[in-house]
A and B are shown apart, each in its own frame.
Chain A
Amino acid sequence: MKHITNYHVYFLLLTLGAAPAWGQLQVFTCEPEWAALAAELGGDRIEAESAVTGLQDVHYIQARPSLIAKARRADLVICTGADLEVGWLPLLLRQANNAAIQPGAPGFMAATDFVDLLEQPQVVDRALGDIHPFGNPHIQTDPRNIGRVAAALSERLQTLDVAQAEIYAARYADFSARWETAVQRWSTRAESLRGQAIVTHHKSWVYMIDWLGLNEVATLEPKPGVPPSMSHLAGMLEQLQNEDVRLIVRSAYQNSRGSHWLSDRTEIPAVILPHTVGSVDSADDLFGMFDVMIDVLLGLGE
């Protein structure tokens, strides 16, 4: 009898686990910016969770058990795509045993499908570092790209959860109006930055640079994905003697040593810019992320 009771409890647990709470759409994203965007567009109709946090390097994630469990239960997976997650996403999707989220199904969406990619390489060779053959995938640092993905994501939510389509459409109209106003505000505030030189840690800011008309004069990584070496930093020090550089920029998860070494010798401030939601204090949502980004670039924050 005891055995039967145990099985009953076990079965009950499984059934409970299988049904999403209150019929919410389960949205699982690779990066925090897409979870934040889904939350803006879905409100309490969805439950959104990101695989990667703002303090983790998206290139180096492993398909660990907790992520497989989340992908198993997801109705929709949103990732950046363009091979940014090539080291772990294909494996994660394959191991999750969930037909709904396989590439090609309505339950999978790659944000880079809706954005024109910069830096599409002419030559693909690993001797050039960890380059992305389809172009630079770090699209989320330009808020206009967030707007483009929002339109596609809202359509996807309306397709997957037809009963709530009107709610999603209304939320999108509201979000895109607020977003357009905010983009206008950020662009105006950053007007004085046009043409200014910055140094970056990794080639992950090209879309922000393109948006604000900044000038990237050097990167701490000698090649994409290769950690800054002493000889490369020394070479940069010489190069930067003759340049008027505003900031040395890195993401919260990147090692601060290279930035600080260079900053100490050039007196160029080394700063952390929010590369996504949750990467620095007060970047709790997408609006906060770009507020902080512009503040830091203008020398007002951090």
Chain B
Amino acid sequence: MRLIFLPATLAVCLVQTELSVAQGSISSTEFNPALSLILDGKFTSYSGAPPELMGVLQGGESEPAPEGFSLSDTEVVASANIDDKFYGFVNIGFELDENETEVELEEAWLQTLALPGGFSVKAGRLFSDIGYLNVRHAHAWDFANAPLIYDAFLGTSYADTGVQVRWIAPLDVFLEVGGEIMSGDSFPAGGRADSGTGAHTLFARLGGDAGVSNSWRVGVSFLAADSIGRESMLELTRVGFDGNTDVTMFDFVWKWARNGNPRDRNFTLVGEYLRRDEKGALTLLSQPPLTVAYDDDQSGFYLYGTYQFRPQWRVGARFDQLSLGKGLSGLPGVAVGSSDPGRWSFMLDWSNSEFSRLRFQIDSYDLNGRSSTGFVLQYVMSIGAHGAHTF
């Protein structure tokens, strides 16, 4: 019941903020956090059945968008300095599922602002900082859907509850090293193993400028997750997994804009490679349940480029490919395709301002030896506080 009151309270806060700004007065509402709301909707059409990925243990929200009209997460984001030493951030997502509204706490964390020596600590529910795209919410992606490696291996994105430490070297070049200890409650972990510290990450990044027009960043990340009874769907069967998962990721991003001024024209190239090794036991929750040993290596990559060819207009192309191991192929009911799953995507988007974007995307899928095409029309809008220009 409490959930019903939340949007109403936020609306009141927004109205009060607006009034106080208009009158130039100082009141208690001046200390309200920066608030923003994200609207994200789609119309999707497929030639044939929705493209389901087979032969891989998937988790989280890794389902293709349903055909027709649908809403992605409608997000409420609030953030502010808590005091001179802490910053707080909350992101709550509302999702419509068969006319039931589901509420998900996507992120809720604090970050230190005043630690010495180039350190900072983040604690709470957070999007892990592994890879390039993992930390970004869906509305900030350059395409309407996630790369296949994220859908197949990370449950679209790895978010969990825990602590993160980051350190930045005092150098001319950008060098960042960090790590996280997480509860191990979210895919690709599961079951809060090791007394609720079941997942660990490590990441390092190097970045800088090459001349005034180019900037770049490269990174390497590791995720080690222990699972107890991690549930996922394998085709139509529910599957439990006990064991460990090791993920290794390499990512790079390169951005170009003449004189470093992206307003008129700019180009971005992003790529990530991901490898997932899993070892343990699978329990097919069929009748009767069946437990088998499981050991599999899977990998994949994506590469995309976007080009803003005039103010407000961008085009983009993306190529995805997965290489699935044979670890699941002997199991009953599992169809591992003969060819590696892949996809081409092309998008065109128009942003009237920094706060509104309309996108058209075509996806050409080749999954498990079956080809299909998807068409997506999408809007992404943000109301309220100005979003951050992340690299």
Contacts and interface: CB of A to CB of B under 8 A. Distances in A.
Given A87-B389, A97-B168, A53 B113 contact: no
Is the contact region of chain A dominated by helix, strand, or loop, or is it mixed?
loop
Interface string B235-264: 000000000000000000001000111111
Contact of A55 (B118, B255, B261): B261
B355 interface: yes
A177 interface: no
A87 B386 contact: yes
Contact of B113 (A60, A91, A102, A120): A102
A64 B209 contact: yes
A61 interface: yes
A98 interface: yes
Nearest to B385: A86
A57 interface: yes
A120 B24 CA distance: 10
A227 interface: yes
B64 interface: no
Contacts of A226: 353
Nearest to A124: B21
Interface stretch (B140-148, B171-179, B319-327, B342-350): B171-179
B115 A62 contact: no
A184 B167 CA distance: 50
A64 B170 contact: no
B205 A65 contact: yes
Nearest to A20: B170
Interface residues of B, number: 53
Contacts of B18: 124
Interface residues of A, number: 48
A62 B389 CA distance: 5
Contact of A94 (B87, B171, B207): B87
Given A64-B255, A123-B22, A225-B353, A72 B263 contact: no
A104 B261 CA distance: 30
Contact of A61 (B114, B169, B389): B389
Contacts of B391: 62-65
A66 B312 contact: no
A61 B264 CA distance: 13
B208 A14 contact: no
A99 B113 contact: yes
A56 B261 contact: yes
Contacts of A122: 22
Contact of B114 (A57, A83, A88, A99): A99
Interface in A114-138: 120, 122-124, 126, 129-130, 133
Interface of A: 13-14, 17-18, 53, 55-57, 60-66, 68-69, 72-73, 83, 86-88, 90-91, 94-99, 102-105, 120, 122-124, 126, 129-130, 133, 225-227, 253, 255
15 contacts: A18-B170, A56-B260, A62-B389, A64-B391, A66-B215, A69-B168, A88-B388, A94-B111, A97-B168, A99-B114, A99-B115, A102-B113, A102-B114, A120-B24, A227-B312
4 closest Cβ pairs, A-B complex = A65-B207, A65-B174, A99-B114, A69-B174
Given A57-B263, A63-B389, 6 more contacts: A53-B212, A55-B259, A63-B391, A65-B215, A126-B353, A253-B261
Interface of B: 18, 21-22, 24, 81, 84, 87, 111, 113-116, 118-120, 166-176, 205-209, 212, 215-217, 255, 259-264, 311-312, 353-355, 386-391
